[in-house]
Structure 1
Amino acid sequence: MRSRQPDLWAAEYITFAAATIFLILRIASRRITRIRFWWDDYFACASYVTAVCWGIVLPIWIHHGFGLHAKDVEGMTFTEANYTTKKYLFIMEHFYAFTLFFAKISMLSFYWRMFRVANIQIFVSVLLVCSILWILVR
């Protein structure tokens, strides 16, 4: 079967490069304007750290056969390849969930800071609780 590994490399590192540039620009804009970091900035950095963890584990998983059919993985039986994939999938799902969680919380913190109107803060609070419940249930 056709290998999907080049697609995995492209999907990961093109978007990761964009995220790196945007985070650097965010930090630079804070330095230029001399505005102190707030919760939204810290959560954005936390999201980036978990994305870096994802970016570290992904090449290891690709080296162990991610993107290949289980029968095409060299040096492993079909059962071993499936076990390895499930093990890495479990790890990667946690990194992915926390990356999304921190990104959601970063955006909600930004909305909380920008919109000081009580009506909007109620909705932001509800979404914040929903996000926390989502990561706990996950």
Structure 2
Amino acid sequence: MAETRSEHVRYRRFRPAVPVARAKARAVAEQWGLSQIAHSLEWVVTELVTNAVVHGRAARESRVVVSYHLEDDVLRVTVRDWASGTPRLAVPPAPAGDVPESGRGLQVVAALTADWGVTPKVIGKSVWAELPTTSTGGAA
């Protein structure tokens, strides 16, 4: 029978939450026997939580919720925030152009996951990404 697991973690919406969320992502991967995707999961959570914390406008003291859901051979991570704005992939700079210091987070997410997307909410949004837990299929 396929294994199903879920976990939800709430963070204050401020920059120090990012390394805490990153460490928790690694801990979830290790606890769930998914060490083969721990590094990718860390990066995905780092980028999505950073976007939720840094971009958009939300009420002071608002929260970010990171949810992990494992079903069969796919781990879905969702970052929910109550901020305005919709994340979009940045257009890469021209080869001879300057490389921007920010704006590449979703490109990292797209490269490390099998799929990702944004689900708009009445207030805010959820950004989700799926990582295969096996070596077949996907970019993990």
- Give the TM-score of the pair, scaled to structure 2: 0.29
Larger strand share, 1 or 2? 2
- Give the TM-score of the pair, scaled to structure 1: 0.30
Larger helix share, 1 or 2? 1
Q: Give the structure, 1 or 2, with the largest relative contact order (CA under 8 Å, sep 6 or more).
A: 1
